[in-house]
């Protein structure tokens, strides 16, 4: 004859048992009660003792309303939801910064971590120092970077000074971590400008404005890259500095700071002119640049170039 049983109810119960130390042992169990051969029996489905109390409370609530789960929907008004800080974007950018050697180059001091956050904040969302502070609060910056105290926009402005004083050392660490002992033999160089709304800047001056902002002072910015297009170094010049006049400092930097002596320098024709080519030749550097229209016309008249 086959035994038959019918599940009566599933429930959560708390069991207190004595222990050898004399301190009662408390267990929270998920059980079901059923009838077998006319007798009511119980069996344990799961031990919830080590579960999160909120999870246990949720199971109890669901079991209480299992016959009509729509009742749970009416509880929305009594439930307060609070969104925690986002970590996805910050964690992703942080891992990339570690892989690229940026974290190692900046160091793990409080100022180094602030500098790294300034880089990360620029990647996640463009904005001011104040916006970077607000972004840190919503993207768990202190947790991800393991910073033991908070910071405000004044800390970030002071951090820019810290970065400026250590720029050369940081650039050298970056190129060393990325390339090891291998020296670049090809450098790309170009300049741009950025106009200023204010006038209280020691490098601000009137010059050729690429943004077509008449009456605005500007800064000139020179970017030096290796053969892969990876940034190696950046310089800021007074706003009235012409493109060719920024080249000599870059050549000296390649020789003195990066210890490169077999180099091909690449720049546009508005930058590498006669004076610059002569200086490059003195340093025994090669160069690649475009030729001007008069030079093209001369080559065509001599038959070297054919239309």
- Name residues of the chain where pLDDT drops below 50: 1-2
Provide CB contacts within 8 A for 242, sequence distance 6+.
Answer: 207, 208
pLDDT at 169: 94
pLDDT at 105: 94
pLDDT at 20: 73
CATH class, 185-301 region: alpha beta
pLDDT at 1: 44
**Cα 117 to Cα 152: distance, rounded to the nearest angstrom:** 12
pLDDT at 6: 62
Extract the tokens encoding 301.
């008249």
- String of b and e for 157-168 (b: at least 16 CB within 10 Å)? eebeeebeebee
- Burial category of 132 from C-beta neighbours within 10 Å (exposed 0-12, middle 13-18, buried 19 and up): buried
pLDDT at 269: 83
DSSP secondary structure string for all residues of the chain: ----EEEEEEEEEEEEE--TTSSPEEEEEEEEEEEETTEEEEEEEEE-TTS-HHHHHHHHHHHHTTT-THHHHTTGGGPPP-PPPP-HHHHHHHHHHHHTTHHHHH-SSHHHHHHHHHHHHHHH----HHHHHHHHHHTTHHHHHT-SS---HHHHHHHHHHHHHTHHHHHHHHHHHHHTTPPP-EEEEEEEEEE-SS---TT-B----TT--TT--EEEEEEEE-TTS-EEEEEEEETT--GGGGHHHHHHHHHHTS---S-EEE--TTTS-HHHHHHHHHTT-EEE-PPPHHHHHHHHHTTSS--
pLDDT at 306: 79
For the chain, the domains span 5-78, 88-167, 185-301
pLDDT at 250: 92
pLDDT at 121: 96
pLDDT at 188: 94
pLDDT at 156: 96
CA-based nearest residue to 115, from 61, 158, 64: 158
Query: What are the Cα distances from residue 26, in Å, to 13, 29, 31, 49, 276?
Result: 11, 10, 15, 8, 84
For the packed helices 274-282 and 247-256, what is the interaxial angle rounded to 10 degrees? 10
pLDDT at 82: 75
Count of other CB atoms within 10 angstroms of residue 11: 15
pLDDT at 76: 63
Task: Provide the whole-model pTM.
Answer: 0.66
């Amino acid at each position: 004859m086959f035994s038959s049983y019918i599940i009566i109810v599933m429930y959560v119960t708390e069991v207190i048992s004595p222990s050898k130390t004399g301190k009662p042992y408390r267990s929270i169990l998920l059980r079901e009660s059923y009838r077998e051969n006319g007798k009511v029996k119980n069996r344990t489905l799961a031990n919830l003792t080590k579960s999160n109390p909120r999870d246990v409370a949720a199971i109890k609530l669901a079991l209480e309303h299992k016959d009509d789960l729509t009742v749970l929907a009416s509880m929305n008004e009594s439930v307060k939801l609070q969104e925690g800080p986002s970590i996805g974007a910050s964690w992703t950018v942080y891992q990339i910064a570690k892989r690229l050697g940026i974290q190692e180059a900046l160091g793990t001091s409080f100022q180094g971590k602030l500098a790294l956050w300034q880089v990360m904040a620029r990647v996640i969302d463009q904005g001011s120092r104040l916006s970077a502070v607000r972004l840190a609060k919503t993207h768990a910056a202190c947790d991800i970077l393991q910073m033991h105290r908070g910071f405000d926009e004044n800390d970030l402005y002071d951090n820019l000074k810290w970065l400026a004083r250590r720029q050369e050392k940081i650039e050298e660490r970056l190129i060393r971590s990325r390339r090891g002992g291998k020296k670049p033999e090809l450098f790309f160089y170009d300049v741009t400008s950025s106009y200023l709304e204010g006038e209280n800047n020691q490098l601000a001056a009137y010059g050729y404005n690429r943004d077509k902002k008449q009456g605005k002072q500007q800064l000139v910015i020179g970017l030096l890259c290796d053969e892969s297009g990876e940034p190696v170094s950046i310089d800021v010049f007074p706003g009235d500095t012409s493109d060719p006049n920024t080249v000599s400092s870059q050549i000296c930097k390649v020789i003195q700071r990066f210890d490169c002596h077999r180099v091909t320098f690449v720049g546009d024709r508005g930058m590498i002119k006669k004076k610059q080519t002569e200086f490059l030749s003195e340093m025994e550097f090669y160069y690649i640049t475009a030729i001007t229209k008069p030079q093209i016309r001369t080559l065509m008249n001599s038959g070297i170039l054919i239309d």
